Amino acid sequence: MGLTLCAVLVIAAALGVVWWLTRPPALPTIPPQYLATVQSATKACPELSVPMLAAQLDAESHWNPQADSGQAQGIAQFHPSTWAEWGKDHTGDGKADVWNPADAIPAQGAYMCHLFKEAKGIPGDPTQLALAAYNAGPGAVLKAQGIPRIPETQNYVKRIEALIPKYTQTYAKQISVAPSPPGN
């Protein structure tokens, strides 16, 4: 009896290890503290969706508001010159702060909306072109008349495009379980 129980436990443990090692990776989700900010940042731009902006933030910083590549800063990874033009005080504290997601995420949404407009008339997928412009700069996309042949930019676009369906799936779940605002 003891030997049989031991064998069953070993088999169960082995099956558990196999399951653990072969399970699909967890889908990414928008951190709850940023959900309303991301939703708000996409409202003024019909081309920009919540899953797309979420995928871009994931690719830029993995949702880390202190991310610093040495060339770009904050959750949205703004280059200082781009932040100087697009950074705004969205919190009302008197300071446009690249390190504050409540300032950086709406600025990213506004900048992406601008990039969609800049990419109009260029052949190709508008989302890919706007993402490429965010990564390489709008001048590089205009000069290339498409996604520039820059491996980092091409991989950036592919990475975000792979994340969008995942965020679409998890966002639908997030908003279906999110509590309704008071008065609704």
In sequence order, what DSSP letters do the residues of 16-68 get, joined into one string? HHHHHHHSPPPPP---HHHHHHHHHHHTT-TT--HHHHHHHHHHHHTT-TT-B
In this structure, are residues 129 and 157 in contact, taking their beta carbons and an 8 Å threshold? no
Distances (CA, A) of 91 to 37, 40, 102, 103, 151: 11, 13, 6, 6, 36
Distance CA 118, CA 35 (A): 27
Q: Does 60 qualify as catalytic in the annotation?
A: yes
Nearest by Cα to 118 from 95, 90, 137: 137
* Residue 73 β-bridge partners: 68, 78
Question: Which amino acid is present at 182?
Answer: P
Which residue of the set 47, 60, 118, 161 is catalytic? 60
Helix (H, G, I), strand (E, B) or coil at 74: coil
- Catalytic positions are 60
